[in-house]
């Protein structure tokens, strides 16, 4: 990110900047592109996921994955955990509407399965976040550390289903008590979901179905009632494939 970009809010730059395709990222099942965003003299890299490049899924409504990417960012911000890179929904892009997310420079060889024990211990909010958003595909390579060792989470296109879909590699804390600071964040978040006039509700209702927002609120309430990290579900697969 250039020096000029630092004084401009990143969300504004993502929403208004000029997008230029740099190349395709080939690891995912949907079309994903690395792009350059230029805005008010600053420029930076971002990840662009056009809706037209989404592969149909039997259990998720078509054309909604980019919206779910943005919803994950909204939830991360509402919780105060700053886990998801800034993400917006662009109505117009090089290949039409889609999500646009700040690109995080990271070491692709350093992921969940190669993390130090100390970094593994930092993943408690990841486990809670993935339960809340009902992440159906938390692979080890979707958990990143940037050059300042800030923890980031990416790839949230198949989240927020009303049915239990949680598949994740992060079960390290299953059954443990949730630390008070995380419970407080979830309680505040749940209160925002219950308030139909809250900015949080307004933002999510533009991105998810009413039933999905209600299911999100129920998951938050279940965490508050149990006070413990979720256990792996019985009777179905709860790890993603491939795991990285």
Q: What is the DSSP string of 154-201?
A: ---TT---SS----BS--TTTTSBPPHHHHHHHHHHHHHHH-TTSHHH
What total of structural domains would you count in the chain? 1
0.75 surpassed by pTM: yes
Indicate whether 40 pLDDT > 50.
Answer: yes
In a domain, 242, yes or no: no
Indicate whether 1 pLDDT > 60.
Answer: no
In a domain, 152, yes or no: yes
In a domain, 30, yes or no: yes
Domain hosting 78: range is 3-226
In a domain, 232, yes or no: no
Q: Note the pLDDT tens digit of each residue in 155-204.
A: 999 999 999 999 999 999 999 999 999 999 999 999 999 998 999 999 99
Confidence of residue 2 (pLDDT cuts 50, 70, 90): very low
In a domain, 181, yes or no: yes
In a domain, 241, yes or no: no
In a domain, 208, yes or no: yes
Average pLDDT score over residue span 115-138? 98
**In the predicted model, what is the mean pLDDT of the chain?**
93
pLDDT above 70 coverage of the chain, percent: 97
Q: Note the pLDDT tens digit of each residue in 28-37.
A: 778 899 999 9
In a domain, 234, yes or no: no
């Amino acid at each position: 990110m250039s020096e000029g970009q630092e004084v401009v809010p990143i969300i504004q730059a993502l929403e208004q900047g000029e997008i230029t395709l740099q190349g395709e990222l080939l690891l995912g099942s949907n079309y994903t592109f690395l792009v350059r965003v230029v805005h008010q003299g600053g420029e930076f890299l971002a990840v662009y996921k056009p809706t037209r490049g989404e592969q149909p899924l039997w259990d998720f409504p078509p054309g909604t994955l980019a919206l779910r990417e943005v919803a994950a960012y909204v939830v991360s911000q509402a919780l105060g955990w700053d886990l998801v890179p800034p993400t917006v929904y662009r109505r117009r892009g090089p290949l039409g509407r889609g999500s646009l997310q700040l690109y995080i420079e990271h070491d692709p060889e350093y992921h969940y399965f190669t993390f130090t024990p100390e970094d593994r211990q930092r993943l408690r909010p990841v486990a809670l976040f993935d339960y809340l958003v009902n992440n159906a595909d938390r692979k080890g390579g979707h958990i990143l550390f940037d050059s300042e060792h800030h923890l980031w989470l990416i790839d949230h296109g198949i989240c927020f289903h009303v049915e239990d879909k949680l598949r994740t590699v992060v079960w390290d804390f299953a059954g443990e008590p949730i630390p008070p600071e995380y419970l407080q964040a979830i309680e505040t978040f749940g209160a925002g979901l219950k308030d139909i006039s809250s900015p949080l509700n307004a933002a999510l209702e533009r991105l998810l179905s009413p039933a999905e927002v209600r299911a999100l609120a129920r998951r938050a309430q279940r965490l508050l009632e149990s006070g413990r990290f979720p256990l792996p579900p019985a009777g179905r697969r709860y790890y993603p494939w491939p795991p990285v």
